[in-house]
Amino acid sequence: AGSRAGVHAALRTLRTAPWPSRRDVRSCLQLLAVLQWVLSFLLLGVVSLLVLIYLVFTSFWPIPALYLAWVIFDWDTPEKGGRRLPCLRRWRVWKHFRDYFPVQLVKTHDLSPSHNYIIGSHPHGILCVGAFCNFITGSTGFWEMFPGIRPFLTTLAGNFRLPLFREYLMSGGLCPVTRQAIGYLLSKNGTGNAVAIVIGGAAESLSCQPGVTTLILKNRKGFVRMALEHGAHLVPSFSFGENDLFRQVVFEEGSWMRSIQKRVQKMMGFAPCVFYGRGLLSVQSRGFLPYPKPITTVVGEPLTVPKIAEPSREVVDLYHGMYVRSLLKLFNENKTKYGLSETDELRIV
């Protein structure tokens, strides 16, 4: 009798216990989507490399041996357009990823499929959330807004030397930020290609902080030269809110920590930032996840660029100046719409 009473009491407790609401479930799925993305980008390559090295000294050594043979055979694939998997772009987890912030894509002008494009993505931020969500995942409707345009996103070439991580990157449409890879997409892959380049690169992440918009662009002219060499039109884009996702400890110019960061950035290709975000359990706690702040990526008007096999420095400077003015116009016309004040300025160094 006592045991039956206990069972009934337990059932009554389950019936009266509050079930998670749909909003709670959505929030949990969004958090998990962001968590898997952050862990994939920060740990997948390194962990895969360590596991394969460990397997070399076990009875499972044929696994890393076969994978090494495959990588050698497949070595040039990242430089030749990669190996995009459309199903990965449609993965439902990216919609939860988008809604966590949320991320929004804004179109201002059409892009013709009869041309190729280089999209300048600004700012870099810490992890390029806006660029990844809009140009790699299909969650914000890029293909619907720009029919016939295939977006690609460039990243450090060293990422494609990490086992398994290279497959993950290529499947989403990422390619190395090298002349060979970008040149292939702009000259040997037909038309309708849009290669997004985070112009400021790793160095710009050192200046990432809320309330300050600093772009490293004044002496970054290689993307303009490539656009001229291949006749690819230049398109500025700006992700409002990108710098609000993390809090970074910014060291002053001339300090020994700043010099170490710059030295590592030159040697390794990435900048060792000291930053933090929210924790896993609450927004108030500190951790490595981005804060849920809205990101709006505005894609601007394409700048028509002629095809010149060997553009002179003066021509490169001319079109670089035109691009900078177009970017400033895009920023000033949209800043008050997406979280900035009229007095906020875009600082280009």
pLDDT at 174: 95
Note down the domain range covering 84: 22-348
Answer whether residue 6 is part of any domain.
Answer: no
Model pTM score: 0.88
Answer whether residue 15 is part of any domain.
Answer: no
pLDDT digit string, tens, across residues 92-143 = 999 999 999 999 999 999 999 999 999 999 999 888 999 999 999 989 999 9
Q: Label residues 297-306 b or e (16+ Cβ within 10 Å = b).
A: bbbbbbbebe
Cβ burial, residue 261 (10 Å; 0-12/13-18/19+): buried
Contacts from 112-116 at CB under 8 Å and sequence distance 24+?
113/147, 113/148, 113/149, 113/191, 113/192, 114/191, 114/192, 115/191, 115/192, 115/232, 115/233, 115/302, 116/185, 116/186, 116/191, 116/192, 116/193, 116/194, 116/195, 116/230, 116/231, 116/232, 116/233
pLDDT at 205: 73
Report, as an integer, the average pLDDT of 339-345: 86
Answer whether residue 13 is part of any domain.
Answer: no
Please determine, for residue 17, whether its predicted confidence score (pLDDT) is greater than 90.
Answer: no
Q: CB–CB of 203/89 below 8 Å?
A: no
pLDDT digit string, tens, across residues 286-301 = 998 999 999 999 999 9
Computed over every residue of the chain, the mean pLDDT equals 89
Residues 107 and 118: their CA atoms lie apart, in Å, by 16
Answer whether residue 332 is part of any domain.
Answer: yes
Answer whether residue 91 is part of any domain.
Answer: yes
Answer whether residue 89 is part of any domain.
Answer: yes
pLDDT category at 264 given cuts 50, 70, 90 is low
Number of domains in the chain: 1
Please determine, for residue 193, whether its predicted confidence score (pLDDT) is greater than 80.
Answer: yes
Answer whether residue 7 is part of any domain.
Answer: no
